[in-house]
Amino acid sequence: MTKGAAGAAGAGKKTVLITGASRGLGRALAVEMARRGHAVVGCARSHDALHSLHADLHPSPSSPSPSPSPHLLTTADVRSDGSVRELAKLVAESRRVPDIIVNNAGAINKNNKIWLVPAEEFDMVVDTNIKGTTNILRHFLPLMIEKKQGIVVNISSGWGRSAAAEVAPYCATKWAIEGLTRSVAKELPPGVAIIALSPGVVNTDMLASCFGSSAALYQTPEAWAPKAATMILNLTTEDNGASLTV
């Protein structure tokens, strides 16, 4: 990974937008970014899960008059263009245009041969992983371009660069993320970059749906997050279009 170019890795505190922030990798990354002093804009579909995340991002204040929170947590469904449009409006109005976006929200199909995957389940994976990522790009890239700087991290997968049986819908969407990232990288003006990032193998609910109890053999999101945060914070515009792995 290159360093020294203009980009989101410069000195100072960053505003980091994380989709799917209520659980798994998104939640762990949000907590780690906040721990390092960066402002987190987190979205997810579950209000209750976001309320729990809020408690993790805001340790009990030592003084009776704590300063206003630097973080913004709100419900949003990345599958809905309208929902993402409202999210972008809220972010812009609150002057929290992100320096870094992590397109983390994702879904996987239950292990099954492709001809046995119900159409509704296939649509859910595509709508979340491809359309959800694209909805964020549609409404947030213009804000970054206007700001003349920003880094977008599209969470990919090892299965976006290889293949496995019974997860064809998921593999297809992550291969799509790799191609989408490389294509969009060619469209961006100076100062803005986009990267595909495979998290590696991490013990999340999604991994457990594929690996069953064997998922417990792999690192936890909490062990993964410090490495991922360091890598993401050190991305620069010279990394534009790259396919990287934590």
Give residue 2's pLDDT: 43
pTM for this entry = 0.91
Which superfamily, per CATH, for 15-55+69-245? NAD(P)-binding Rossmann-like Domain (3.40.50.720)
Does the CA dihedral 85-192-38-16 come out positive or negative? positive
Interatomic CA distance for residues 135 and 167, integer angstroms:
24
SS3 category, 235: coil
- Ordered by start, the domain boundaries in the chain are 15-55+69-245
pLDDT of amino acid 61: 60
pLDDT for 171 equals 97
Q: Exactly one of 140, 159, 170, 224 is catalytic; name it.
A: 170
Contact in structure between 198 and 187 (CB atoms under 8 Å): no
Beta bridge partners of 18: 42, 102
Task: Specify the residue for token string 């013990």.
Answer: 203
Measure the CA–CA gap between 228 and 18, rounded to whole angstroms. Answer: 13
Q: Give the model's pLDDT for residue 67.
A: 76
Active-site residue 170, yes or no?
A: yes
Tens-digit pLDDT profile for the chain (246 aa)? 444 444 444 468 999 999 999 999 999 999 999 999 999 999 999 999 999 999 999 876 655 556 789 999 999 999 999 999 999 999 999 999 999 999 999 999 999 999 999 999 999 999 999 999 999 999 999 999 999 999 999 999 999 999 999 999 999 999 999 999 999 999 999 999 999 999 998 878 787 888 888 888 877 999 999 999 999 999 999 999 999 999
